[in-house]
Amino acid sequence: MVKELSGGQRQRLALAVALLNDPELLFLDEPTSGLDPQARRHVWDILRELRSQGKTIFLTTHYMEEAENLSDWVCIMDHGRIIAEGTPQDLVARLGPATFVEFQVPSALVPALRARFPGRVQENEDRTSVQLDELGRGLASLFSWAEEQGISLTHVTLRQPNLEDVFLALTGRRLRD
């Protein structure tokens, strides 16, 4: 019985039913919601195979990584309106030559960090990130700031921008807000 299936099993069944008639056009609404990472990647593989067969897939998702990996064209919506569209690469490129530096810092120091890097600091649970356009000078300034504060930055990582960063830049808020 379908009602006895787990959420992930229901998602997979819905995809299987959608593919029964071998459609040329497929509308999928949050097809990987509730799936574990392995099942999610398996669904991605199926969607890539369908795309390679020339199928057209309209995919709605809140997972920006999913949109970035599966889409040829992305429309970002906010409050029911399309606020940006383009290829994932083009949308990310609009952020410019940014690199994000993520690290842990005491929350009491975040206001001072915001003063040093206005409009470039984001907090996400236990991590803070700073968007740097010129990596060399930006890192020097960040580590100089940490030294002035008498702290060491911990768990430092560098990453390139992605579609979630584009969404944040355009809307000023996370998807769960």
Residue ranges per structural domain of the chain: 2-92, 97-160
What per-residue confidence (pLDDT) applies to 174? 55
pLDDT of residue 177: 45
9-59 pLDDT, tens digit each: 888 899 999 999 999 999 999 999 889 999 999 999 999 999 999 999 999
- Phi and psi angles of residue 11, each rounded to the nearest 5 degrees, phi first: -60, -45
Which burial class, exposed, middle or buried, applies to 25 when counting CB atoms under 10 A from its CB (0-12, 13-18, 19+)? Answer: exposed
Give per-residue pLDDT as tens, 97-125. Answer: 889 999 999 999 999 999 999 989 988 87
Q: How far is it, in rounded angstroms, from Cα 53 to Cα 47?
A: 10
CATH fold match for the domains 2-92 and 97-160: no
CATH of the domain spanning 97-160: 3.30.70
Task: Classify domain 2-92 at the CATH class level.
Answer: alpha beta
Q: Assess contact for 145 and 111: CB atoms under 8 A.
A: no
Q: For residue range 133-173, what is the model confidence (pLDDT) as tens digits?
A: 999 999 999 999 999 999 999 899 999 999 998 998 898 76
Give the model's pLDDT for residue 171.
87
